[in-house]
């Protein structure tokens, strides 16, 4: 049985060069053969990890460029000690 290691074809599918060796034995010992479907999951995970790593680098670079953010203290809109009156709810000019 021929085990091909390299085949070069022209545009008309004629063999220009072929490299192979003769093998006689069980096919399981001939070598590991991967196809697209068997490696698709790993490639997708690597691609996603690369994308996430790039996004994290961009975010870190942007944060370093902008500097640390200052936290503003927000004044509560309503004072919890004051009762809410109808005038407070309906008057648009009152703050």
Token pair, residue 17, equals 């060069």
- Per-residue pLDDT of 35-52, as tens digits, reads 777 788 889 999 999 999
Look at 1 and 7; give whichever has higher pLDDT.
7
Q: Are 21 and 6 contacting, i.e. CB atoms less than 8 angstroms apart? A: no
* CA 3 – CA 26 distance, rounded (Å): 12
- Per-residue confidence band for 76, with pLDDT thresholds at 50, 70 and 90: low
Instruction: State whether residue 19 is helix, strand or coil.
Output: strand
For the record, the structure tokens of 22 come out as 């003769």
């Amino acid at each position: 049985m021929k085990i091909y290691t390299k085949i070069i074809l022209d545009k008309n599918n004629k063999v220009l060069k072929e490299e192979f060796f003769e093998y006689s034995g069980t096919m399981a010992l001939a070598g590991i053969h991967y196809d697209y479907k068997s490696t698709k999951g790993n490639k997708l995970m690597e691609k996603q990890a690369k994308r996430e790593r790039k996004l994290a680098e961009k975010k870190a670079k942007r944060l370093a460029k902008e500097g640390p953010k200052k936290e503003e203290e927000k004044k509560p809109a309503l004072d919890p000690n004051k009762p809410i009156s109808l005038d407070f709810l309906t008057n648009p000019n009152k703050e």
